[in-house]
Homo-oligomer: A and B are copies of this chain.
Amino acid sequence: MSDVVDLLRAELGVRVDTSPGALEAARADKSGHRSAGAPLAVVHAASVSDVQRTLRIASRTRTPVVTRGAGTGLAGAALAGPGEIALSTRAMTRILEISADDLLAVVEPGILNAELNEALAPHGLWWAPDPASRAISTVGGNIATGAGGLLCAKYGVVRDAVLGVDLVTADGELMRLGHRSVKGVTGLDLTSLVIGSEGRLGVIVGATLKLRRLTPGHVRTIAATFPDVGGAARASSQVTARGIQPALMELMDAASLAAVHRLLALPAPTPGAAQLTVQTDGPAADAEADAVARVVREAGGAVVISHDPAEGERLLTIRRSVHPAMEAMGTTLIEDVSVPRSALPAMFAEIARIEADFGLVIPTVAHAGDGNLHPNFVFDGDDVPAHVWEAADALFRVALALGGTLTGEHGIGVLKRRWLVDELGPGQWALQERVVRAFDPEGILNPGKVF
C-alpha cells in the first residue's frame, strides 16, 4: 500500500501529506466519531488537475478515496480510515465569477460558506443555504451533504441553490453537470443527484451557484418563552398552518437551552422552559412579526419583539451554539429526523416518551419552520452505548411513522447507515446501489458510507 503513496508523491509532490497530525485529523469529523485508524495519506488538492491525478492513481490501484472539505460533517461521511486516501479540496477556495445580472457565482469547493457570503455582500447578493456550521463548513461540503440550515423554510436548501456541479468521476474524468441558465432539462438531472450524495458519485471540484439579492427592509426577531416544549411546538405548527412565512423559526427545548447557557456562561434559564426564536424579513417583516406574536401568545408563549439586529444576532448565537454545547458535555449522536410540519407536536411528545422509556435526557432543537429536529444523545467514551442506539432507533421509527424521514440535512454517512434500508425499502436500496455503480464501477469512492 505504500506503493500508492509513492505514486501519489511522484505525481503530486508536496500536496501529499503523511504527517501524523494530518492523518489523525482526517479520521474525524464533527460527529464525534472516528475511523478505525489513520488513512494512507492526505492529498491537499489545489486544482482540478490534482483531483484528477489522485483519482487516476486511486482507480489504477483500486485504492478507496474519501473526499473531505473542512471536516465539519455530522454523520461521519468524511471519516478516512486504514488503506484509504483522504482527498481534501479545502485548499481550492477561489471565486471564479460573480454575476449580479444573472444571479450566479462560480466557485471552487473549498471556500467556506461564510467567506463566500462575505464576498457576495458588497454586490448586494447572497447564497441562501446557511447551515449552523456556515462559519466553518465549505460550499463543497454543503453540496455533498445536501445541507439545510436555519433559513431554508423561506429560502430553500442547497438543492434549490445550485445550477451546476463540476464533478471528477472515479476514473479521473471531469464532467460539467447542469447549466448556467435558470432553466435546463437537457438529459437527466445529474446535478441534483450529486447534491447530497456524500462522496459516493465523484469529487465536487466546482459549482455554479444560484444567488439571491440581499433582502431589502429590516429583520424583526421574536423571542418567545413557553412553560414547556409542547407549547412551543404547537405554536410553531400554528404559524405555518396560518400561512405566515418567517425567515427562520428555531425551537430549543429546556435541556438544549440549559446546555448553551452553561457553555456561554449566561444566567440559567427557567427550568423546563422552551424557547421559540422567529425572524421575519422583507417588505412585510413588521406585519408578519405581529402575526407571529399573536399566534405565539394564543399558544401560551411570552413574547418579546426586537427591532435591534444585534439583539437578533445574539439570540441566534444561542441557537448556533447548540452543537458546541453538546460537544462540551460528551460524545454526541445527533439525530436529524424531519417530519411534516403539522407533526411537530406529536414528534416532541414521542421524544418525551422515549426519554422516559430509556431513562435518558435528549436535548432537542428544531428548525421548526420546516419540521426538522435534532435530538441529541450525549454519552461518555467513543462508542455509542447499546441503549442509546435503541433509543435512537425508536426515535427514527416514530419519525417514519409520522410521515417523516431519517435525515433532513446531515446525511447518512456511517452513523445512520443501519436505518437506510428501513426507509428506502430493499428495492430502492438496491436501485440506489446500482446508480452508484454507474458512476463508480470499481467502488473506490467513499466505500461503506451511506450504503
Contact = CB atoms under 8 A, between A and B. Distances in A.
Contacts of A200: 188
Given A101-B240, A145-B185, A435-B438, 12 more contacts: A100-B241, A157-B183, A181-B340, A182-B372, A184-B338, A185-B196, A185-B410, A187-B428, A187-B451, A192-B192, A193-B193, A431-B439
Interface string A158-187: 011000000001000101110111111111
Nearest to A193: B193
A408 to B, nearest CB: 4
A144 to B, nearest CB: 10
Contact of A101 (B177, B184, B342, B429): B342
A182 B153 contact: yes
A189 B428 contact: no
A450 B338 CA distance: 35
Nearest to A195: B189
A183 B193 CA distance: 15
20 contacts: A102-B340, A102-B341, A160-B160, A169-B431, A175-B425, A179-B405, A180-B405, A181-B338, A181-B404, A182-B372, A185-B196, A185-B409, A185-B412, A186-B407, A188-B200, A188-B436, A190-B435, A193-B193, A431-B438, A435-B438
A209 interface: no
A28 B186 CA distance: 22
Nearest to A450: B187
Interface string A93-130: 00000011111100000000000000000001000000
A370 B100 contact: no
B188 A197 contact: yes
Contacts of A406: 186
A401 B152 CA distance: 34
A141 to B, nearest CB: 13
Given A338-B179, A404-B181, A186 B439 contact: no
A341 B182 contact: yes
A388 interface: no
Contacts of A152: 182-183
A415 interface: no
A262 interface: no
Contacts of A240: 101, 103
A124 to B, nearest CB: 8
A173 B427 contact: yes
A146 interface: yes
Interface residues of A, number: 82
Contacts of A190: 193, 428, 431-432, 435
A312 interface: no
A385 interface: no
A315 B56 CA distance: 57
Given A187-B450, A193-B193, A420-B186, A340 B99 contact: yes
Interface string A138-151: 00000001101000
B340 A243 contact: no
B185 A411 contact: yes
B186 A424 contact: yes
A175 B412 CA distance: 20
A188 B191 CA distance: 11
A418 interface: no
A152 B225 CA distance: 39
A307 interface: no
Most B CB contacts (10 A, CB to CB) among A100, A187, A420 go to A187
A193 to B, nearest CB: 5
A349 interface: no
A339 interface: yes
Interface string A413-431: 0000000100111011101
Nearest to A189: B192
Most B CB contacts (10 A, CB to CB) among A184, A192, A410 go to A184
A375 interface: no
Contact of A405 (B169, B184, B424): B184
A437 interface: yes
